Amino acid sequence: MDFIVILLKGGMSMQYNLKEIRSNVDDELSIKSSNAVILMCAIFIASIGLNLNSIPVVIGAMLISPLMNPILGLGLSLGISDMSLFYKALRLLGVQLGISILTSFLYFSFSPITQASDEIIARTFPTIWDVLIAFAGGTAGWIGLRKKVANNIVPGVAIATALMPPVCTIGYALSAQDLSYFIGAGYLFLINCSFILIATFIGVKVLLRSDKSLQLTKKKRINTYIAVLTFLVAIPSLFSAYVLIRQDLETLNMERFIDEEFKETVVLNYVYDDDRQLLIVTTLGNRFDEIEREELNDSLSNYGFDELELTLIQIPDLNQLDKQGLEELFQSRTLWQW
């Protein structure tokens, strides 16, 4: 404790000033063969993790990935209006993206497991929550970038914002020739990059109020570009969040309908056909007569399904059928339906 006080009294700050931050970031933006190999290994490991649906493997890959550096560099360069640093960071990010997509594409092209795992599918439908995570992660990343002491903030940001999985998913989409996965994963990566950049940009602007270590030429157009970028990238995520919330509400109301309206019978299965606006419910036991079926169909409006039609597949109590009746039921595959 006394040592820290002495350091502070001696004028030694525990944080880098803006000039030092720029120098440190600039040093990390060189295209090096060793970093390229590390990135290829990280992408290869992440692709295996996604392919096998293994979250720990994906997290391990993100810990060694160098993808965060150029994104932080982009945000810093725009904040200080340093176009030479901006193009250097952009060039590195482009090279890293090319290596990453090619590596994941080659892996998934030769992988015997061609089915999309849950971890891959999860990276194809970004929402506003991904925007918030990326912005919060970018803010934390900027704070970590300023600290002189060793910290695990930047690697933690890389994990929280999940930069690598969407890139791997792009490679999978190319190998599987799936346009919807390609667009979804590409949009998620765009969200992560944009809002880490934006958070870093804002952090630099705040620091500029007190830090005069750099002589800057202000470019007002950059502020406009950042505002436009924020708007354009965030708007689609709001729509996808609306769709997701609506689907969750529909699922919840569907479950309520089944639980409350079919209390006296056993529901074996129910299927919702969104295209035909049809709900197919398979029951076992006592049959509903025509009046009861009409009442069930009318009650759908009470759960928010005004245009939904109900179809009942009613199987009698199998315990009440003799051997001949069971044989006739399953051989003919005839079900009581309306």
Categorize the per-residue pLDDT at 11 as very low, low, confident or very high, splitting at 50, 70 and 90. Answer: very low
Categorize the per-residue pLDDT at 101 as very low, low, confident or very high, splitting at 50, 70 and 90. Answer: very high
Choice between 161 and 302, residue whose per-residue pLDDT is larger: 302
Distance, in Å, from the CA atom of 182 to the CA atom of 323, rounded to the nearest integer, reads 54
Other CB atoms within 10 Å distance of the CB of residue 273 = 12
Non-local (6+) Cβ contacts of 216 within 8 A are: 80, 81, 208
- Mean pLDDT of all residues belonging to the chain: 82
Residue 334: pLDDT over 60:
no
Distance, in Å, from the CA atom of 132 to the CA atom of 233, rounded to the nearest integer, reads 12
Categorize the per-residue pLDDT at 280 as very low, low, confident or very high, splitting at 50, 70 and 90. Answer: confident
User: Which of 59-68, 100-109, 299-308 has maximum average pLDDT?
Assistant: 100-109
**Full strand arrangement of the beta sheet holding 266-273:** 266-273, 278-284, 309-315, 336-337
At 3 the pLDDT is: 41
3-class DSSP state of 212? coil
pTM: 0.79
Categorize the per-residue pLDDT at 258 as very low, low, confident or very high, splitting at 50, 70 and 90. Answer: confident
7 — alpha (psi -120 to 50), left (phi > 0) or beta? alpha
